[in-house]
Structure 1
Amino acid sequence: MQHAWIGGGLRFSYCTEHDLPAISRMLAKESVCRWLFFGPNTDEATRSYFLPLIEEMRTAFRAGRMPDHHVFTVRLEDTGDFVGQCALFPIDFSPGSFLIGYQLDDACWKRGYGTRACTFLVYFAFTVLDGYRLNGDTVAGNTTSQRVMESCGFVLEGIQRQYWHAGGEYHDRLIFGLLKTDLAPERLSGLGEMFTTEHSAEV
C-alpha cells in the first residue's frame, strides 16, 4: 500500500508522529492561524488532535486497509523541508464525500504550494479513493484560500453568516463544493499523470 506521492516538486506522505514538531511550530504561529477558527495552538493541543488520527491511520495500514482519515505532511521533494499539511476527512453518512483542509507554514506562502496541495487532494479523493464529492470552506476574508479552491474547480455553493467567532469577531463561512462529474475525463487523467507514487517506510 502506498504511503507517499510526489508531484509539482512536493512530496505528500501520510502524517506520522515524527512530523508533529514541525506541524506544532506551524500551528503555534498567529500568522498561520489568522483565518482559522482555532489556534494559535500549544504543542499539547496540536499533539492531542493529531495523535488519534495518526494512530487510526497506522492501525489501518497494519491491517492492510485504507484509513478513514487521510492526513498528509507536505515537504519539498528535493530537500525534505517542511511546507505544511493537508487532509481529507470523511463526511458522515455520505461515503465518497470528503472535507478538504490545508495549512502552509508562512515561510512557504505565495509559491503556489497551496494550489498544488489542493490539487493533490482532488487527485487523491477522485482517483485513489474513487470519491464523488469534495467539500471546502473558508472565512470570507481569506481570499487566498478562495482562489486556491476556485483554481482547482471548486464552486461557491453558499454563505453562512457569522458562522465562526474568533479573535473577538464574527466571520462568515464560505462553502465550496466540487463533484467528480464537474471534471472532464481528460482533467481526471491529467491528475493521475501529475502525481507519482513513492514507496516509503511503514507508518
Structure 2
Amino acid sequence: MEDCYTQHSWIGGDLKFSYCTEHDLPDISRMLSKESVCRWLFFGPNTEEATRAYFLPLIEEMRTALREGRTPDHHVFTVRLEGTGDFVGQCALFPVDFSPGSFLIGYQLDDVYWKKGYGTQTCCFLVYFAFTVLDGYRLNGDTVAGNTASRRVMERCGFVLEGTQRRYWHAADGYHDRMIFGLLKSDLAPERLSALEKAFTG
C-alpha cells in the first residue's frame, strides 16, 4: 500500500489527478452548470453557490486529514491535462457505510473532453487508487439506464452489471432505471493490478 498521505497528485497518460482544492471550484462550478453535463445526473444544472456548498466541506475534510498525515474519509480529485493544466473534470471515491474497503465511484467530465477516452482513463485511475493506494476490496458504480457512455466506461474497466432498480431516479425528462455495477479486487488478475500501478505515477 502506497503512502497516500504525503502524495497529493498522480499522473496517468496525459492526465493529472489531484486532490481537489478550493482553487478548483470555479472550473467545477462551470462544468456542473451545463445542461449537457448534468443530463443524466439526478442533480443540476447547479448554481455556483450550490456547487460550493457541496464541495467545500469535502475539501476541508481532505485538507485537514492530509495536513495531519491521515487518509481522508473521502477522495475527491480534479482531473486536468498534465501538459497544460486545462480542466477536464472531476472524480471521487466515497466510502460505503459499515463496509471498510468498499467505495462508491463517481466521475464527471466537461463536455469538450467527451469521446476522447478520458472517461475510461479516469475510471481506471479510481480502480488503481482504491485497490492499490487504499487497499480496498470492492468498488460500486451506478448509472442511469440511458447513459450508455458511462456504462461502457465501467465495463471497459472490468465492472460487472449486478442489478437494475426500476424508476429509481428522476431527471429532467422523467423517471429512469438505475443500473448497478460492481468490481471486486479479486476480479482483477495480478498482472492487471501491476499494469495499473505502472500506469499511474506520482
- Between the aligned partners of 1:121 and 1:68, the Cα distance in structure 2 is 15
**What TM-score, normalized by structure 2, do the two folds share?**
0.97
Partner of 1:36: 41
Write the mapping of 1:1-203 to structure 2, written as runs, cut at 5 A: 1-197=6-202
Equivalent-residue separation in structure 1 for 2:67 and 2:199 (angstroms): 28
2-side partners of 1:50 and 1:188: how far apart? 30
Are 2:39 and 2:171, in contact at CA under 8 Å, matched by a contact in 1?
A: no
The superposition leaves residues 126-183 of structure 1 with CA deviations (integer Å, 9 ceiling, x where unpaired) of 0000000000000000000000000000000000000001214000000000000000
User: Quick one: distance in 2 between partners of 1:113 and 1:168?
Assistant: 27
1:62 shift after superposition: 1.3
Structure 1 counterpart SS, 2:46: coil
Measured on the aligned residues, the alpha-carbon RMSD in Å equals: 0.5
The structural deviation recorded for 1:14 is 0.1
Q: Which runs of 5+ in 1 are unaligned?
A: 198-203
Displacement of 1:26: 0.1
The percentage of counterpart residues that share the same residue type is: 83
Contact 2:78 2:90 in 1 (8 A): yes
Equivalenced residues, count: 197
Contact kept, 8 Å, 2:159 with 2:182, in 1: the verdict is: yes
How far 1:63 sits from its partner (Å)?
A: 1.1
Q: Which runs of 5+ in 2 are unaligned?
A: 1-5
User: Following TM superposition, where does structure 1 have runs of at least 4 consecutive aligned residues deviating by more than 4 angstroms?
Assistant: none
